[in-house]
Amino acid sequence: MTKRVTVKTIQKFKDENEKFSVLTAYDYSTAKYLDEAGIDIILIGDSLAMVALGYETTHSIGMNEMSIFTKAVAKGAERAMVVTDMPFLSYHTDIPTAVKNCGEMVKCGANAVKIEGFSEYILNVIKRLVETGIPVMGHLGFTPQFINTLGGYKIQGKTKDTAEEILRQAKELEKAGVFSIVLEMVPQDSAKYITQNLTVPTISCGAGKYCDAQVLVSDDVFGKFSDFKPKFARKYGDMKSLIYNCAKQFNDDVKSGKFPSDDEIF
Ligand code: KIV
């Protein structure tokens, strides 16, 4: 049986200076291929609201949808750690609700959850989750669920003072028990400074090469989502053209009578 990546493996990566990889997935077969490719953490990001469901922001996705996608991904991932992004309002109202909702994701097959932001309340949520046996990934810098208060897609931690503030928050998250922290849209030098001053690994989402890991949205990596492309994302394939060409050929073959052939009938 394949050995699962756990919070211990993730910490070992940091301690031994070994980089690790994180990609998002929202369905069974994608999770399976990412797992086979050696991706260490598969994140059911709430980005799925935008890239898979076509919503404008991540706010519209709820527990029901995240549960369905978590179950699908968990079935496909054998080695990778499966982390579910907790949707907007699922952990913000009170600690018992947060524990219940995060626990639901574990029941759906998640090995850990990710929660965005920083406050005294969030620290208490993290402590309670860890006490319950639910590992937590933190998320600082640009936090999409706060887009309305942050005033749009804005780089965070650009000045010495704001970088210090992110480091302060990261240290508090670390004390509360997170096993890793996503740093989103933070300048590389600030992310380097934050990473060097933490014990837990940082995961860069547009925060440069000095973080301990890198995360991207798989639809950006595959070249599938084309509404916009973040500056920090790298496109490794052209799935949009692949899907278009396959669909077009199928359409042509059906209409010209080339499909099905004699080999494709009973
Ligand atoms: O929702 C998401 O996919 C994310 C990552 C890209 C970090 O939060």
CA distance 253 to 50: 32
Parent domain of 254: 238-266
Whole-number Cα distances in Å, 26 to 94, 144, 155, 178, 201: 27, 18, 26, 23, 24
Q: Assess whether pLDDT exceeds 90 at residue 1.
A: no
**Quick one: pLDDT at residue 122?**
98
Question: Which residue, by CA, sits nearest to atom 4 of ligand 1?
Answer: 45
Any atom of ligand 1 within 6 Å of the Cβ of 46: yes
pLDDT in tens, 173-184: 999 999 999 999
* 49 inside domain: yes
Counting ligand 1 atoms within 8 A of each CB, the residue from 182, 218, 222 with the most, and so the one to mutate, is: 182
**Quick one: pLDDT at residue 168?**
98
Any atom of ligand 1 within 6 Å of the Cβ of 211: no
The pTM for the full model equals 0.97
Counting ligand 1 atoms within 8 A of each CB, the residue from 57, 65, 184 with the most, and so the one to mutate, is: 184
Q: Are residues 157 and 231 in the same domain?
A: yes
Q: Is 184 a catalytic residue?
A: yes
- SS in 3 state form for 11-38? HHHHHCCCCEEEEECCCHHHHHHHHHCC
What percentage of residues in the chain have a pLDDT greater than 90? 98
Res. 209 pLDDT band, cuts 50 70 90? very high
Q: Are residues 219 and 254 in the same domain?
A: no
Catalytic residue of the set 36, 104, 184, 264: 184
* 257 inside domain: yes
Q: Is there a contact between 81 and 106 (Cβ–Cβ < 8 Å)?
A: no
Q: Are residues 205 and 90 in the same domain?
A: yes
Report how far Cα 133 is from the mean position of its chain's Cα atoms: 20
Distance 258 CA to ligand 1 centre (A): 42
Q: Are residues 140 and 264 in the same domain?
A: no
* 159 inside domain: yes
* 2 inside domain: no
pLDDT in tens, 10-19: 999 999 999 9
By CB neighbour count within 10 A (0-12 exposed, 13-18 middle, 19+ buried), where does 184 fall? Answer: buried
Q: Are residues 196 and 256 in the same domain?
A: no
pLDDT in tens, 122-141: 999 999 999 999 999 999 99
Q: Is there a contact between 181 and 168 (Cβ–Cβ < 8 Å)?
A: no
Q: Assess whether pLDDT exceeds 90 at residue 218.
A: yes
Whole-number Cα distances in Å, 160 to 150, 163, 167: 19, 5, 10
Identify which of 16, 66, 44, 76 has the alpha carbon closest to the alpha carbon of residue 218.
44
* 71 inside domain: yes
* 1 inside domain: no
Q: Assess whether pLDDT exceeds 90 at residue 260.
A: yes
Q: Assess whether pLDDT exceeds 90 at residue 44.
A: yes
Range 242-261 average pLDDT:
98
- Average pLDDT over the chain reads 97
Range 202-221 average pLDDT:
98
Q: Are residues 246 and 169 in the same domain?
A: no
CATH number of 202's domain: 3.20.20.60
Q: Are residues 103 and 185 in the same domain?
A: yes
pLDDT in tens, 84-102: 999 999 999 999 999 999 9
Q: Is there a contact between 88 and 66 (Cβ–Cβ < 8 Å)?
A: no
Distance 144 CA to ligand 1 centre (A): 9
* 74 inside domain: yes
Q: Are residues 250 and 179 in the same domain?
A: no
Tokens describing residue 173: 């998250």
Distance 254 CA to ligand 1 centre (A): 39
**Quick one: pLDDT at residue 129?**
98
| Preceding amide of 87 cis, omega within 30 | no
Any atom of ligand 1 within 6 Å of the Cβ of 215: yes
What is the helix (H) or strand (E) element at residue 41, kind and residue range? strand 41-44
Question: Which residue, by CA, sits nearest to atom 2 of ligand 1?
Answer: 45
Q: Are residues 136 and 261 in the same domain?
A: no
Number of structural domains found in the chain: 2
Any atom of ligand 1 within 6 Å of the Cβ of 218: no
